[in-house]
């Protein structure tokens, strides 16, 4: 796992720590998780660049800064059970698994869920479960959750997700507001939902249903010359 270790340390220093994300546990996790294993081999040499990259099926792995920011906003202490909506490559889930007791990650594109699960198993991360499932409905079988992270943009706050959040827990989700997307952090306080923090962002849309294999989409948008300039997130149809 020493391959690209220097690139990872530089990525964390220049793209995460130097722009204000200082949680030592988040920085350590991002130094330890081999990001290059979560991108197509064709793009391994670009895994640590400050951009989103395609992972097939029209999906992307979010840029390192976005992963660091969203992870830090959950303020995980190590005892939490976390729901991730949008497994994608599995990279964000791998970071969460270093910081939480248990991670349940759901992905609507079944082949991506299979691939993410295989990569995470290869790394020996046993406290994360990846499931092909409609994330808009959350995952009631494992609820309630201490924290929920959604890596795609919704038109409004999905009620199923709030209902599966523990009292005092955080829910992080991008919401469309007019022509803008805002990354909101909600906290459940009894029957009330309080907005704690928001920043501008750009993510792909949160969609419903489960999508099976489609050979024509498997390598869609994967190109060594991809600019990484499109929306982030792991949940594009």
Q: Name the one residue in this structure whose structure tokens are 């479960």.
A: 129
pTM (two decimals): 0.90
What is the Cα–Cα distance from 29 to 179, expressed in whole angstroms?
A: 34
| CATH code: domain of residue 110 | 3.40.50.150
Query: Do residues 8 and 31 touch, judged by C-beta distance below 8 A?
Result: yes
How many domains, the chain?
Answer: 1
| Residue 206 falls inside a structural domain | no
What is the Cα–Cα distance from 100 to 110, expressed in whole angstroms?
A: 24
Tokens of 174: 């991008």
| Residue 235 falls inside a structural domain | no
The yes-or-no answer on residue 62 being catalytic is yes
| Residue 126 falls inside a structural domain | yes
What is the Cα–Cα distance from 134 to 195, expressed in whole angstroms?
A: 25
Set 51, 62, 97, 105: catalytic member: 62
Query: Do residues 109 and 115 touch, judged by C-beta distance below 8 A?
Result: no
| Residue 211 falls inside a structural domain | no
Q: In the chain, at which residue ranges do the beta strands (DSSP E only) sit?
A: 53-56, 59-61, 81-85, 102-107, 128-132, 145-150, 165-177, 180-189, 192-201
| Residue 223 falls inside a structural domain | no
Query: Do residues 54 and 234 touch, judged by C-beta distance below 8 A?
Result: no
User: For each of the chain's 237 residues, which pLDDT tens digit applies?
Assistant: 567 999 999 999 999 999 999 999 999 999 999 999 999 999 999 999 999 999 998 899 999 999 999 999 999 999 999 999 999 999 999 999 999 999 999 999 999 999 999 999 999 999 999 999 999 999 999 999 999 999 999 999 999 999 999 999 999 999 998 889 999 999 999 888 899 878 888 888 899 889 886 655 556 556 555 544 456 654 332
Q: Name the one residue in this structure whose structure tokens are 């906290």.
A: 187
Interior CA angle at 180 toward 210 and 19, to 5°?
Answer: 95
Domain extent for 124 = 5-201
| Residue 9 falls inside a structural domain | yes
48: left (phi over 0), alpha (psi -120 to 50) or beta: alpha
Tell me, what DSSP letter sits at residue 142?
Answer: G
| Residue 70 falls inside a structural domain | yes
| Residue 219 falls inside a structural domain | no
């Amino acid at each position: 796992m020493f391959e690209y270790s220097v690139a990872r340390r530089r990525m964390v220093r220049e793209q995460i720590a130097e722009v204000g994300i200082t949680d030592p546990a988040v920085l350590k996790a991002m130094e330890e998780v081999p990001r290059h294993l979560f991108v197509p081999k064709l793009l391994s040499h670009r895994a640590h660049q400050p951009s989103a990259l395609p992972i097939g099926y029209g999906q992307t792995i979010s840029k390192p800064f976005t992963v660091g920011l969203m992870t830090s906003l959950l303020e995980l202490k190590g005892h939490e059970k976390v729901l991730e909506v949008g497994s994608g490559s599995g990279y964000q889930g791998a970071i969460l698994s270093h910081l939480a007791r248990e991670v349940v990650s759901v992905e609507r594109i079944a082949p991506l869920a299979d691939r993410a699960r295989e990569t995470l198993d290869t790394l020996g991360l046993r406290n994360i479960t990846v499931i092909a499932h409609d994330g808009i409905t959350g995952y009631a079988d494992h609820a309630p959750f201490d924290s929920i992270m959604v890596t795609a943009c919704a038109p409004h706050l999905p009620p199923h997700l709030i209902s599966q959040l523990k009292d005092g827990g955080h829910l992080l989700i991008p919401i469309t507001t007019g022509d803008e997307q805002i990354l909101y952090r909600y906290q459940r306080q009894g029957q009330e939902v309080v907005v704690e923090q928001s920043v501008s962002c750009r993510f792909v849309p949160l969609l419903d249903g489960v999508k099976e294999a489609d050979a024509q989409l498997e390598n869609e948008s994967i190109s060594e010359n991809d600019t990484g300039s499109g929306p982030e997130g792991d949940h594009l149809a």
